[in-house]
Amino acid sequence: MENESNRLHIFFLPLVLQGHMIPMMDMAKTFATSGAKVTIVTTPICSTLFSRQIERVHQLGLDFNIQTVKLGLPEDWENLDAVTWSQNQVELLDRFWKALSLLREPVLHILEEHRPDCLIADLFFPWATDVAAQLKIPRLAFGGTSFFAMCTMRVIALHQPHKRVSSESETFIVPHLPGEIKLTKTQLPEYLRQELDTDFSNLAKEIVESELKGYGSIFNSFYELEKDYADYYRNVLGRKAWHIGPVSLCNRDTVDKALRGMEAISQHECLKWLDSKKPNSVIYACFGSLTKFSPEQLVELAKGLEASRQDFIWIVRKDKNEEQDWLPDGFEERMDGKGLIIRGWAPQVLILDHESVGGFMTHCGWNSIMEGVCAGVPMVTWPMFAEQFYNEKLVTQVLQIGIGVGSKQYADFGIGADFVSRDDIEVAVRRIMAGAEAEEMRRRAKKLGEMARKAVGEGGSSDSDLTSLIEELRQHKAARESR
């Protein structure tokens, strides 16, 4: 047993979005399994959402703690996944971004009380770098995305290639980046396209500055997946970084995988349905907790799935105030036994790992991409906002394990997204599910899944990076305590 005085105490500060909290929880569990004492700082609402996972971690005998702070907003805004989005509420996001800065003093107070050895904080808390500096501890930034996306964002910000095209739809090459990556202005966030002076655009600048000043960055990725971009981030952009993923693989048994679904339907209902299907015959469609489709787009998606003639599981976001009458007439009756619609959360890792699932239709959030890679399934890509268009390029162009539906318009939370036709949906689904092209993509995807498991195994690339990081943090702790 490691001497208690030598043991690292690491604080984690995730953004209050489940897409950011889930990998941060898995990451904390990974550090705790390696012998560190870990503490998560979050809001009371988010703490409640993850109570079952925390209870499970305690059952495993890990030193895992929670500290709560108030965000200073109404309770239904302390978990953005629960918000029913509208154009007006998107405008109210400025209030949310401002509220994040108000956490600085209460978080500093908690850190001063507990005196941890390291702070791993989401990129959306740029002030965390200065807070860590006050305590003379390293701040590691976590963005919840890929090396590829981070490199793309930084190169576009540095060289601004989008300013040299003549129209919104004209493609430009991201300069200096391996792979000749092409994008359009329509796939970039509005504040970049129009150089808006907003609270969010100012926050984005602060994020870049704090990343430059910080100790380094930590990624939920593995070297073999995007080695050219991990090397570019470190050697060309000059950033210190560690890849320790896929962190979802820290959940090795069925109980842990199911708990990541949080408010999931009974896993037995879902898995029993999958058990009745042939291997690689089902496409799983899920678009994360924040994507909002119009009723018209939902109808078109339903008709595209039906036209593809593939068995499917479709996860539909459950809004508090949304009527559920958008399905085409008779759709659920026609799809009885052919398709399973789940409204709300589902045990995604368990579904993707099932042998009957042969494809994944995704919004290209990084957690979903990583979980799809671990499961070894090809993907239908349908990006909407954030870094999702960049992740799509990694999947379809670099890794060649996916087909896009043709989404071209950046749209926050999906509001104002371009309309994707049933024909485009049908074609993309068929291309990844059947035929020689699908088999080749599936072969590549399975190989990546094997690489992912090896990466987190003993002596693998992610295991080695984690070991190296922990040793560096120990040396930093010893040097600080000797002064």
Q: Please tell me which residue in 20, 162, 243, 354 is annotated as part of the active site.
A: 20
Q: Please tell me which residue in 26, 117, 122, 465 is annotated as part of the active site.
A: 122
Burial of 74 (0-12, 13-18, 19+ CB in 10 A): exposed
Q: Which domains does the chain have, with CATH numbers?
A: 4-249+456-482 (3.40.50.2000), 263-452 (3.40.50.2000)
Cβ contact 21:42 at 8 Å: yes
**Reported confidence tier of residue 259, pLDDT bands at 50, 70, 90:** low
What pLDDT is stored for residue 49 in this prediction? 78
Q: How far apart, in whole angstroms, are the C-alpha atoms of residue 309 and residue 143?
A: 38
Cβ contact 27:53 at 8 Å: no
CA angle 299-297-301, nearest 5°?
A: 55
Q: What is the pLDDT of residues 322-378, one digit of tens each?
A: 445 678 888 988 998 899 998 877 889 999 999 999 999 999 999 999 999 999 999
130 is a catalytic site residue: no
Give residues with Cβ within 8 angstroms of 406, minimum separation 6.
420, 424
What backbone phi and psi angles, to 5 degrees, belong to 143?
Answer: -100, -5
Q: What is the pLDDT of residues 240-249, one digit of tens each?
A: 999 999 999 9
Among 192, 140, 133, smallest CA distance to 480 is for 133
**Reported confidence tier of residue 268, pLDDT bands at 50, 70, 90:** low
Average pLDDT over residues 445-453: 98
3-state secondary structure at position 248: helix
Q: How far apart, in whole angstroms, are the C-alpha atoms of residue 106 and residue 112?
A: 10
What pLDDT is stored for residue 54 in this prediction? 83
Angle between helices 295-308 and 422-433 (to 10 degrees): 40
What pLDDT is stored for residue 322 in this prediction? 46
What pLDDT is stored for residue 45 in this prediction? 81
Q: pTM (2 decimals)?
A: 0.93
20 is a catalytic site residue: yes
